[in-house]
C-alpha cells in the first residue's frame, strides 16, 4: 500500500503530465483533469484491485473503473500510464494524428485501461451499471467505480440509469461525482441549476456520501473506504466529491476559464514551477 507522501508525489507528477500534454498540442481540458488528480491517484494507487500487465476488456475478477466525463482524458491517461497499463512515453502522443490517446478516450485503438468510449457525456453511468450487473451474474465480489462531472448530470440519461441502479439493487457500484460547480460556460448554477444533488440521489434510492475536501489524499482514502464498507447492502453508493477545478496551479483555480484551454509557454513554465517533478517527466 502506498504511503500518503507517495500518493502526493504521484499526483504531483500527474499534474505535470496533464499540463505538458495539453500545452504540447495547444488543446485539451486541464481544469477538470487537475481537479480530479488526487481522486484518480488514490483510486488506482491505493484502492482498486487490477492487473495492468494483462489487460482485457472483460476485466474478470478485477475492480473496474469507467470515466464518464471523458474530456478529462489527460488525467486518466497519465494515471493509467504511471499505473503500468502502457508506456509513460506514449503520453507524448496525446491528441496527435493516429494516436491511441485521443482527446476523448476511445476503444477502437485498443488502448489498455480503456473499456468505454466517453466522448459523449451522460453515458458512463449506464456503462458502469451494466458492468456491475455482469459481475453479479458472474458471481464476482469485485466493485465497479465510475466518475461523473456535475455539469454532466444535466444530461437526462443519467437519471434513468440512476433510477435503474437502485431499482435493480446494483450494490456493487460506487459512482463519484466531481462536484466542482463549474462547466464550460460558467458555474453549474448559472448554466442549469440542479438544486441539491444529494437529495436527488437519495430520492432515487442511493446511499450518498459527501466529502468537501475532494483534493485531500487522506480525505479521499477515507470516503472511498467508507463507500466500500457500505457496498453490498442492496443500494448503489454515490460519493459527492467537492473538488477545485485547476487544483495545484494557482492561476487556474477558482474559475471555469481553464475548462478547455491550453497554457502558453510562459504559463506552462509557471505552472510546472508550482509542481516540481517527483517521478520524472516523459
Domain 4-273 belongs in CATH node 3.40.50.970: yes
Q: Is the pLDDT of residue 212 over 80?
A: yes
Q: Which cell numbers hold the place of 157? A: 440519461
pLDDT tens, position by position, 152-176? 999 999 999 999 999 999 999 999 9
DSSP state of 146: E
**Type and span of the H or E element at 150:** none
pLDDT tens, position by position, 216-227? 999 999 999 999
Whole-number pLDDT of residue 178: 98
Q: Which cell numbers hold the place of 215? A: 483534493
pLDDT tens, position by position, 56-85? 999 999 999 999 999 999 999 999 999 999
pLDDT tens, position by position, 265-277? 999 999 999 999 9
146 in Cβ contact with 124 (< 8 Å): yes
User: CB neighbours (10 Å) of residue 130?
Assistant: 15
Q: Which cell numbers hold the place of 152? A: 454532466
Helix, strand or coil for residue 52? helix
pLDDT tens, position by position, 226-268? 999 999 999 999 999 999 999 999 999 999 999 999 999 999 9
Instruction: Tell me the domain boundaries of the chain.
Output: 4-273
Average pLDDT in the 173-194 region?
Answer: 94
**Type and span of the H or E element at 202:** helix 197-203
139 in Cβ contact with 166 (< 8 Å): no
Average pLDDT in the 148-153 region?
Answer: 96
pLDDT tens, position by position, 121-142? 999 999 999 999 999 999 999 9
266 class by beta-carbon count within 10 Å (0-12 exposed, 13-18 middle, 19+ buried): exposed
Q: Is the pLDDT of residue 119 over 90?
A: no
Any idea what the Cα angle at residue 275 is, between residues 273 and 276, rounded to 5°? Answer: 75
**Type and span of the H or E element at 35:** helix 30-35
Give the separation between CA 33 and CA 245, rounded to whole angstroms: 8
DSSP state of 250: G
Q: Which cell numbers hold the place of 164? A: 435503474
DSSP state of 216: -
| Nearest CA among 82, 47, 87, 85 for reference residue 63 | 47
Helix, strand or coil for residue 149? strand
Q: Is the pLDDT of residue 10 over 80?
A: yes
Q: Where are the beta strands (DSSP E) in 128-236?
A: 144-149, 173-178, 182-183, 186-187, 207-211
259 in Cβ contact with 188 (< 8 Å): no
Q: Is the pLDDT of residue 1 over 90?
A: no
* 241, HSE (Cβ side, Cα atoms, 13 Å): 33
- Give the position of cell 453490498: 232
Q: Is the dihedral of CA 155, 72, 112, 145 positive or negative?
A: negative
Whole-number pLDDT of residue 170: 98
Give the separation between CA 50 and CA 153, rounded to whole angstroms: 28
Amino acid at each position: 500500500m502506498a504511503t500518503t507522501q507517495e500518493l502526493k508525489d504521484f499526483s504531483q507528477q500527474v499534474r505535470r503530465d496533464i499540463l505538458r500534454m495539453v500545452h504540447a498540442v495547444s488543446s485539451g481540458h486541464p481544469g477538470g483533469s487537475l481537479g480530479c488528480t488526487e481522486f484518480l491517484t488514490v483510486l488506482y494507487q491505493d484502492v482498486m484491485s487490477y492487473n495492468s500487465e494483462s489487460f482485457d476488456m472483460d476485466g474478470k475478477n478485477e475492480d473496474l473503473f469507467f470515466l464518464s466525463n471523458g474530456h478529462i482524458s489527460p488525467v486518466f491517461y497519465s494515471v493509467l500510464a504511471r499505473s503500468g497499463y502502457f508506456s509513460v512515453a506514449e503520453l507524448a502522443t496525446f491528441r496527435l494524428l493516429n494516436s491511441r490517446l485521443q482527446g476523448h478516450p476511445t476503444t477502437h485503438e485498443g488502448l489498455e485501461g480503456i473499456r468505454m468510449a466517453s466522448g459523449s457525456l451522460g453515458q458512463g453511468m449506464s456503462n458502469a451499471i451494466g458492468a456491475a450487473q455482469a459481475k453479479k451474474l458472474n458471481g464476482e465480489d469485485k466493485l465497479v467505480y465510475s466518475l461523473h462531472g456535475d455539469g454532466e448530470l444535466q444530461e437526462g440519461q443519467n437519471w434513468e440509469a440512476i433510477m435503474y441502479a437502485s431499482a435493480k439493487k446494483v450494490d456493487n457500484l460506487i459512482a463519484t461525482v466531481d462536484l466542482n460547480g463549474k462547466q464550460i460556460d460558467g458555474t453549474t448554477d448559472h448554466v442549469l441549476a440542479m438544486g441539491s444533488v444529494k437529495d436527488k440521489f437519495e430520492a432515487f434510492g442511493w446511499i450518498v456520501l459527501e466529502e468537501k475536501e475532494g483534493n485531500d489524499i487522506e480525505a479521499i482514502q477515507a470516503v472511498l473506504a467508507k463507500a466500500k464498507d457500505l457496498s453490498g447492502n442492496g443500494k448503489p453508493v454515490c460519493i459527492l466529491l467537492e473538488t477545485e477545478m485547476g487544483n495545484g496551479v494557482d492561476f487556474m483555480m477558482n474559475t471555469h476559464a481553464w475548462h478547455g484551454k491550453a497554457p502558453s509557454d510562459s504559463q506552462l513554465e509557471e505552472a510546472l514551477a508550482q509542481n516540481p517533478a517527483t517521478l520524472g517527466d516523459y
